[in-house]
Homo-oligomer: A and B are copies of this chain.
């Protein structure tokens, strides 16, 4: 009842002919439950028993399909990370073709990131919403933690590409300032996606957490203008 994906989870014996067993949705259901619970309470705050109960399966199946808790956590990220990163990259490639003023092109680049993330959170299904929240949750953890490494694998080079695109658009800026500017943008994005409730509190209930589209429409011009404060021409 969670996801519409039908992919096999375990991936143990990939014979070249055809997939032998039916490989039911069990793995996907465990992933969905883990994705949801991890996104709210983090790696330590959730037990495998909770995940199994949420998925409606036996506890031992989590070990059978994924081996360990850490492997399960990695599998949750691995399930969508490549597709997600590719979508962002594609949006960036598209944004680079935008013509117009420097401001317009800068906004297009920033929008490529936030709009793609918001799009998945709002229109990718309930699993994606949890995934995006988990993504932000993990990003808000110190790098010393070990379970965050699968996340970095997929997204670090995406970040670099965005910095590269902005740096090429603004040769008059020091490269370090470009990095700072995009870092601020990314930091705000990351924080907001885990804490949409803060919006309601600040505005006295005028905003709903589902107004992520409206938020993106504010973020883009705000952060695009922010670069003017770091010496961007235009």
With A225-B229, A229-B221: A142-B195 Cβ-Cβ less than 8 Å: yes
B143 touches A140 (CB 8 A): no
Chain B residues whose CB sits within 8 angstroms of the CB of A194 once the complex forms:
140-142
A228 touches B225 (CB 8 A): yes
Dominant SS among interface residues on chain A = helix
Select which of B41, B202, B203, B229 is within 8 A of A224 by beta carbon: B229
Q: With an 8 A cutoff between CB atoms, is A64 at the interface? A: no
CA–CA, A44 and B145, complex, Å: 14
Chain B residues whose CB sits within 8 angstroms of the CB of A151 once the complex forms:
none
Closest to A107 in B: B229
B226 touches A223 (CB 8 A): yes
Select which of B140, B156, B192, B230 is within 8 A of A218 by beta carbon: B230
B141 touches A206 (CB 8 A): no
As a 0/1 sequence over residues 22 to 41 of chain A, the CB contacts with chain B under 8 angstroms (1 = contact) are 00000000000000000011
B218 touches A177 (CB 8 A): yes
CA–CA, A211 and B218, complex, Å: 29
Within 8 A of B (CB), among A92-139: 133, 136-137, 139
Number of copies: 2
Q: With an 8 A cutoff between CB atoms, is A190 at the interface? A: yes
Q: With an 8 A cutoff between CB atoms, is A67 at the interface? A: no
- Nearest Cβ distance between residue A221 and chain B, in whole angstroms? 4
CA–CA, A215 and B223, complex, Å: 16
Stretch in contact with the other chain, from A52-60, A83-91, A180-188: A180-188
| A-B pairs with lowest CB-CB distance, top 4 | A225-B229, A221-B229, A187-B191, A44-B44
Q: Provide 29 A-B residue pairs closer than 8 Å at the C-beta atoms, listed in order of the A residue.
A: A42-B44, A136-B140, A140-B191, A140-B194, A142-B194, A142-B197, A143-B195, A143-B201, A144-B197, A159-B202, A176-B203, A179-B202, A180-B215, A180-B222, A181-B222, A183-B192, A183-B199, A184-B188, A184-B218, A187-B190, A187-B191, A187-B192, A187-B195, A222-B226, A222-B227, A222-B230, A225-B225, A226-B229, A228-B228
Chain A positions near chain B (C-beta within 8 angstroms) = 40-45, 133, 136-137, 139-145, 156, 159-160, 163, 176-177, 179-181, 183-185, 187-188, 190-192, 194-195, 197-199, 201-203, 206-207, 215, 218-219, 221-230
